[in-house]
Structure 1
């Protein structure tokens, strides 16, 4: 059990390290600056410090004992060839200029040294090791054009030295040329992969925002269509009442009859404008949505459908709710509908309770479900929260409030408070 946990932790750590290594950073930002843990962020410094700590004394000793270089000059060359590796963590290109110049100067010095014959030249083995570490830092930070230029300059310099003193050359310049190309290709591939992943993540974020915006607009259009049916009913009542007033009320003055005629005409014009608006809203092919809008009187049907789908749901609904405005009634129904749909998608088999209560000021809709009793579909494990967008739009329309969020036991709770006092029907 412990070994499995250790392997899992190691895999997660390597994954996080690879992601941070593949993520491009700005020139002034250290490598792995975006790694999640502190030890990963300090790793480039540790590697650079280790290289300097090992290569610096070894280079001094080799230059003095094997190549016969003066001690002071050997120390200066070794420091210039290794110490800038610490700078490579933040600014590898600037570090390359220093190290490359020191390497070229070292090759010139060794050209006249007594112990160079039979040994590696123009580059020493320590230069090759440090240079490859520098190429790794360059490949993770610099663009492709810079990497190609650095690689070509490295190869051309080694070739020129070989032309000057071919008897000293042992092929180490070719070895460095090939190995630096391999390291640069690997590092640049990792960096390119990180850039692609970053662009994909940004595109996914943009797409998700666009989907959420589109869902919100679609929900608003649907609400507007439903509101048309509600308001059109009241406008029709106003028109009928205004047209029939002269026949229902005896001895109605002529001025009053003219006023009622004006009201009826205005109501008919308003209905015509609303029908034109509805035609625009239904331009997406939803011409068939002409059935009467549902309300809480059909909430029991929603609960029964959820039970048939495998959700043990129950409904608590007062026998008499009193007068509920149509807009509030429709919004409450849609909230219950969406909440039960979310349970079916994300918590199949979870015990669910739907409660509707009302007082003089508010209608309260409460939908609470427990943790899922069975695994959710793989297609539904990642929720977008677009259902909650529609709920909030409806609650905002009525001037109410919505409280939605997870519960400590793994369930979910949705509580909507819809005002009744300011939403009474005009009739």
Structure 2
């Protein structure tokens, strides 16, 4: 309602706009019909009033024709309608005008004190008018002379019967309309919220796909680059000694074959892990891609519930909230980092561990590299999480691969330290007497980046850079828990 007490067009958002202040055309037709009936009523009552007051008949008729059409304003200015009905009450006019005016005022959003004041004025006006009317009618009966208190009781009853029902009914209808409108607004808010959830689900799906592609590329790089680098080194040695030392050439050929088989085995294991994770869950990719459609479906259900919420009351709100909670819970198919879901395809326990560092160093030694491995301390009884051990292994593996590529012939020191609550690893090589061109291994420039991403992803610290002696050092510290 506006400042003048106008009734807002609630519940008519999808209906065509009516003329002037009416929200719909049928509302205008209803008010015009009521105004016509009220005009006929007040016209006849105006003639009776003019006759009783000794006024010309045309004056009473004119008064009725002016008062009756005021009912057209009941939706726009219900306060004015009630004031006019109160004003003509002493003339015993506008019974329909007063009742419909009080109903329209009560159903509007007018302040309760305004409704109470105008309803009280209508009660007083009707009471006074009824009192004198009943007393006059009773006084005309010679055989019936009731006491004054009886006439007063009758007048009060008439005033309450005429005034209370339209006010109470209007208050009920107004409260119900406001409840329905509140539920509609809540349903619209839930629909907007679900739409935002659907948009965020699409963003999370795209982010998860990019994250998974990056992770697979990093794993492929770590596995293939190291094995192929060793194969290239052994192939170069095989080519150099093929004619001079057939026995050594045979050993190098066997090592090349072993390296190739190990590379294929690790690739098969990695692909098997991805296929197993996808097939075991059955929803590793489906929930992320199907989540937007599911949220939109829930939004449609919520809107349908809102359309039926006229008699639903607060229970509808709880049911809609439950659907939103269910929709939100259905979108959590993975860990959450920075507001987005992280899909992890590699289960815990898969991949290399710290126990395999000796074999990794031995492979580089077999390729002719001088590698020293030292371990300080010992891991606790519980050991480290598999992700930490895999990361330490991959850091050492990538560092040795880089030495094969960029510093052939350099001596390498690998140090592993078990500390309180953390594990540290350092791979340092000395200067190389030969250049990288002697080996001929290509470099994609992603090795150090991948190591840094792995370590940082577990909350560790990664440092790399050249040493004063002309070599290169790679260090990483990871939390043990």
Whether TM exceeds 0.5 here: the answer is no
Which of structures 1 and 2 has the bigger CA Rg?
2
Give the shorter-chain TM-score range: 0.3 to 0.5
TM-score w.r.t. the length of structure 2 is: 0.39
